[in-house]
Structure 1
Amino acid sequence: MSKVTIGDVAREAGVALGTVSNALNHPEKVRAETLAAVNEAIRKLGYAPNQSARLLAGGTNPTFGLVVPQLNHGLSLQIASGASVEANRQGYGLLIATANDDADTEERYMRYFAGTQVSGVLVQQASTRPSATGRVPIVHLETVSDAAGYYVASDARAQGALIAGHLAALGIRRLAVIGAAATDRLAQRLVGIERTMELHPEIELVVMNEGTADLAAEGFELGRRLAELPAGERPDAVCGLTDVLAVGAIAGITQAGRSVPDDIAVAGCDGNPLAWGGNIPLTTCAPIGYEIGRRGIHFLLAQIEAAKTPAGRAELATENHQELVRPFMLTRASTVGASTLQATDAISLNLGTYL
């Protein structure tokens, strides 16, 4: 079968070659009915533009790349959604690559995207290794830095502070924090919890520094262990630095014969919908991943615009642009009981949509 050419599309649609070119590259310049005819011809014939030839001829690739560590966390999925919607709104496509939490794989994808001359790259880094894409604009997601460049991150310290404030308002007397603060994000959540608890000296804070972030089984063991402590030592609230640990803790506490939240309230701290299984919905503090992805696209566009002038190019090499996205509370049955679940979920959903 011979390869379908742009000329075949033009003949099928009954338009000139230049019209097909505009339909592919500048659809805003083509009348709606003509654009519909060209798109129908493309679908019918199965035409695929030769992007390599286009780039060799000096064209641009109206596509952004996104590299995420994994797609097993709700935040990464939300980031991808926000970035995809905003990229399309601005006339760009989005290609997504998963690094499997491996720095070398991440670096290969960054080089690949640079080699295909994408218009820019978003990276939710799996490591602290500097990411280089040559002259391709880059935005670091979920990274806080004072270095020159563009960074968008959730406010991890605010996540911890909001959860701690919520638990303090319940009148608790002893709070146990589970999870090893093995990354900067987890450490910042812990700082938010500790600083908030300094305002509540009546509450005893126990930081266990145990539990791998993505292992519910370790949360289960920690929850069971805490629930089996004598009444004078047992916490009346547990906060997991991740939702995975918190959901595991709920299972461990109930396995030990204690009630959640009547005996021990439980909260998570990172808004991961993929961890929200179980019979007791989890209170958590969610970063707005959609907004992180959306703002990341805006930062790429800002770099593209700045690169058009000498002053802008100089600014790109020296200035720091950091944005923190505030989280929001999702108050659920694991801290307030099932009787208020429906009302609080509705409030949280509306707030999340508004933000």
Structure 2
Amino acid sequence: MKKTNPSMLDVARFAGVSIATVSNVINRPEKVSEATAEQVRAAIAELGFVRNDAARSLATGTTSSIGMVLADLDNSLFVDMAHGAQRGVDAVGLRLLLGNAACDLTRQDDYLRLFDEARVGGVLLSPMEDSLAGIERMRSHGRPMVLLNYDQDGIDCCTVLVDNEEVGYLAARHLIETGRKRIGFVAGRDYYQPVHARRVGVQRAVREAGGARLEEIDTGGLDFEDGLAVARALGERPPGQRPDGIVAVTDDIANGIAEGLHTAFVAEVPGDISIVGCEDNRSARSGPVALTAVQLEGVRMGQAAAELLLEEMNAPAGEHRHRTVTVRPGLVVRASTAVAPLGV
């Protein structure tokens, strides 16, 4: 019977070599003859030896892993960020460890502590709220960090941003350019930095248009059900008192509004009400009408963040200069805004 959790010493004894030779086979195989290496590999296979990376990280002070904590993996923007980061670390042979904060600051901090204790080489963090305390703790322990989609005051580190004010601006301007006059901005949790910035962009587009007017509708949340609730509330108004163009701060809200309007026969999309989302998630094409949305380039953001982190990890002490990379959003036009409004 194989020993449970065999050690490197067990492998050395089984193969008839020193522990140093076993270590070289695992970590520096070029230092060992092929015959000896094959002997050690056979012993590893026979005993079922698995290297203890936790012990190795205690000895070296770091691991071959990068930690990534994302705000919400239910949102495909953050999934795309993870894919981009994976692409970046794969290129240099590192592993990506992923944590889902689920929009919970306490859970986010738990993952930061976990990655700190695991002595990861660095951390990619995409928060929704001020995270200064956790960031300062990690950096005080020598962990390089890069922030995604959040401009954190009071900290000096690399950042990858999407221009969220431009996101809101592009969405509202598109509605206005297609003839919409009564613009609704539907959002919740304005204390989230991206939400607030998109609101500012919508306000700017309406202000520049002159003839349009803006109604801001607070959903309290950012989910599909919040959009459904907005659709029900709009159904209680006379048609002329409803927005004829809606910017939804998330695609989930946008799809909820479209679904609610469609199933209750309240209004046609886009005939009566055009809708634009602000993320271009995978859900943008799964509702009752394909959703016009502002594309955030999550894969590109994740890869850029990984590259910045690797730059800092590999730079000689004191030579790295933090910088910010800003990714410009773009509009993807689909059926939810594809026709001219009726009766405006």
> Smaller-chain TM-score range?
0.7 to 0.9
| 1:239 partner SS | strand
Aligned 8 A contact 1:68 1:126 in 2:
no
Measure how far apart 1:335 and its partner are.
Answer: 1.0
1:165-219 residue CA offsets vs partner (Å, 9 max, x unmatched): 22122122221111133422111011111112222112222222x1133232232
What TM-score do you get using the length of structure 2 for normalisation? 0.82
1:244-290 residue CA offsets vs partner (Å, 9 max, x unmatched): 11111112222143211111111111223246532211111121111
Aligned 8 A contact 1:137 1:304 in 2:
yes
Match of 2:274 among 258, 265, 274: 265
Please list, as runs of the form range in 1=range in 2, the aligned pairs for 1:15-164 lying within 5 A after superposition. 24-25=26-27, 46-58=48-60, 60-130=62-132, 131=135, 132-133=137-138, 134-145=141-152, 147-164=155-172
Aligned 8 A contact 1:228 1:234 in 2:
no
Which residue is 2:185 aligned to? 177
Match of 1:291 among 300, 311, 322: 300
Q: Distance in 1 between matches of 2:99 and 2:20?
A: 34
Matched, 1:199 2:208: yes
Q: Distance in 1 between matches of 2:250 and 2:300?
A: 20
* Structure 1 pair 283–122 and aligned structure 2 pair: CA distance change class (3 A): same
* Farther off after superposition, 271-280 or 163-172: 271-280
1:303-346 residue CA offsets vs partner (Å, 9 max, x unmatched): 1123x23x32xx6xxx6522222222221111116xxxxxxxxx
Match of 2:286 among 261, 271, 277: 277
Letter in 1 for 2:110: R
Letter in 2 for 1:200: A
Aligned 8 A contact 1:99 1:126 in 2:
no
Measure how far apart 1:158 and its partner are.
Answer: 1.4
| 1:114 partner SS | helix
Please list, as runs of the form range in 1=range in 2, the aligned pairs for 1:294-333 lying within 5 A after superposition. 294-306=303-315, 308-309=316-317, 311-312=318-319, 320-333=322-335
Which residue is 1:351 aligned to? none
Give the CA RMSD over aligned residues: 3.4
Letter in 2 for 1:294: Q
* Structure 1 pair 175–48 and aligned structure 2 pair: CA distance change class (3 A): same
Matched, 1:168 2:170: no
| 1:123 partner SS | strand
What TM-score do you get using the length of structure 1 for normalisation? 0.79
1:85-126 residue CA offsets vs partner (Å, 9 max, x unmatched): 211111211111222332222222212211221110111124
Which residue is 1:212 aligned to? 220
Letter in 2 for 1:196: A
Unpaired runs of 5+ residues, structure 1, are 338-355
* Farther off after superposition, 114-123 or 17-26: 17-26
Count of residues in correspondence between the two structures: 328
Aligned 8 A contact 1:144 1:322 in 2:
no
| 2:121 partner SS | strand
Q: Distance in 1 between matches of 2:303 and 2:80?
A: 10
Q: Distance in 1 between matches of 2:40 and 2:277?
A: 51
| 1:258 partner SS | coil
| 1:232 partner SS | helix
| 1:214 partner SS | coil
Measure how far apart 1:26 and its partner are.
Answer: 6.3
Q: Distance in 2 between matches of 1:327 and 1:105?
A: 29
Letter in 1 for 2:57: L
Q: Distance in 1 between matches of 2:227 and 2:192?
A: 17
